[in-house]
Structure 1
Amino acid sequence: MNKINEGEGSTRRRGAELEGAILQAAWDELMEIGFHHLTIEGVAARAQTSKPVIYRRWPNREELVLAAILNHLPTVSVPDTGNLRSDVLLLLNELNEMLQQIGPKTIHGLMSVVSDIPFSDILNFRRTNTMTVILDRAIERGEIRPEKVTPRITRLPVDLVRHELLITLEPVSMKTIEEIVDEIFLPLLK
């Protein structure tokens, strides 16, 4: 009897198990050596698989990195403090922490080489939906006027935090986040 049937040897990983191992390997490589040094070969070696297995799932390094990032982003909780300002500050602080975990150089690197994948839209998708819920609650409480809420204004605070991080390549301070909310975002909704 062969070892695989006897349970003595390893079996080939497939499906979700294999994909999870590849995404974890890509994330680990990204965190250890960075986007510009990450290779499919390195990910394959770390995941103990082959390059063709990876290329069957992701056509290039950029899409693999995007998948790894999205796989590791935590689920977003929608703040509900009963106050628009507090909710937006909590959301932006969470976003800031997540962007720092990914790293501004990784984000910048991806954005500079990926023209057909809307990386900012992918990252922003969860945030925009969260911001929409926050704004809808503020409208229900009478804090803001619904006619002032546009898609661009909804995206604005997230875009400004991301922009600040990418331009400075430094963590965005709480003071800067408060300025974005108090001096730019909230006045647009009044």
Structure 2
Amino acid sequence: MPERRRGAALEKALLDAAWDELTANGYARFTMDAVVRRAGTSPPVLYRRWSDREELVRAAIVHTLRGYRLDTPDTGSLREDVLTLMREINATRVPLITVMSAQLAGYHQETGTCTAELRDPLATGRKEALDVLYDRAVDRGEIERGRLTERVKALPFDLLRHEILTSFAPVPERVLEEIVDTVFLPLVR
């Protein structure tokens, strides 16, 4: 007989099952009953935590995104720091970005939300990590702080996400370098 899950272990199992159901079948076919079956639990266990599918989907996304945090590189140059981070995203996040876009279109339409709103609980940590990366570059004299608007700081990663979403595949190295060398760095130097 399997050990009974409780507390954090049970919540993790439920959220993992919800994410698996979402990625396998998309939001349109996502049901609380399917998550219950996938998690091997009962409806009351699920409904005690999340009252409806929108709430459960949001919780599953936030839970999943927490597992995708990246370390802030420190290579000694802004160019290499940004490229290192972009390469890591490119190598490990294409399926996540694809699911967030393709499988959640119905969720966004039904709830009136957008992907950025789903990332909000994690945005502070991501922003702080990028601020550390850019502060180091300013301290080294590589870039001017006055040129670092929030839009400019996000630009290489926004362009990477755009490339992934237009191809649903990892971005070639030459494109990563082009984003950094011909678009981003000229803006901050």
Structure 1 residue identity aligned to 2:144 = R
**Could you say which residue in structure 2 is the equivalent of 1:83?**
77
**Residue 27 to residue 72, structure 1, CA distance change in 2 (3 Å):** farther
Structure 2 residue identity aligned to 1:48 = G
SS at match of 2:93: helix
SS at match of 1:57: coil
Q: Given that residues 44 and 50 in structure 1 are in contact (C-alpha distance below 8 angstroms), is that contact kept between their aligned partners in structure 2?
A: yes
Percent of pairs with identical residues: 41
Q: CA deviation at 1:179?
A: 1.1
Question: Aligned-pair RMSD on alpha carbons?
Answer: 2.5
2:64 is the counterpart of 1:69: yes
**Could you say which residue in structure 1 is the equivalent of 2:181?**
182
**Could you say which residue in structure 2 is the equivalent of 1:152?**
151
Query: What CA distance in whole angstroms lies between the structure 1 residues aligned with 2:124 and 2:105?
Result: 16
**Could you say which residue in structure 1 is the equivalent of 2:95?**
101
Question: Please, what TM-score do these two structures have when normalized by structure 1?
Answer: 0.80
Unaligned runs of at least 5 residues, structure 1: 1-8
Question: Please, what TM-score do these two structures have when normalized by structure 2?
Answer: 0.80
SS at match of 1:90: helix
Q: Given that residues 76 and 126 in structure 1 are in contact (C-alpha distance below 8 angstroms), is that contact kept between their aligned partners in structure 2?
A: no
Structure 2 residue identity aligned to 1:79 = P
2:41 is the counterpart of 1:42: no
Unaligned runs of at least 5 residues, structure 2: none
Q: Given that residues 26 and 68 in structure 1 are in contact (C-alpha distance below 8 angstroms), is that contact kept between their aligned partners in structure 2?
A: no
Q: CA deviation at 1:139?
A: 0.3
Specify which structure has the bigger relative contact order, considering alpha-carbon pairs within 8 angstroms and separated by 6 or more residues: 2
Query: What CA distance in whole angstroms lies between the structure 2 residues aligned with 1:121 and 1:111?
Result: 18
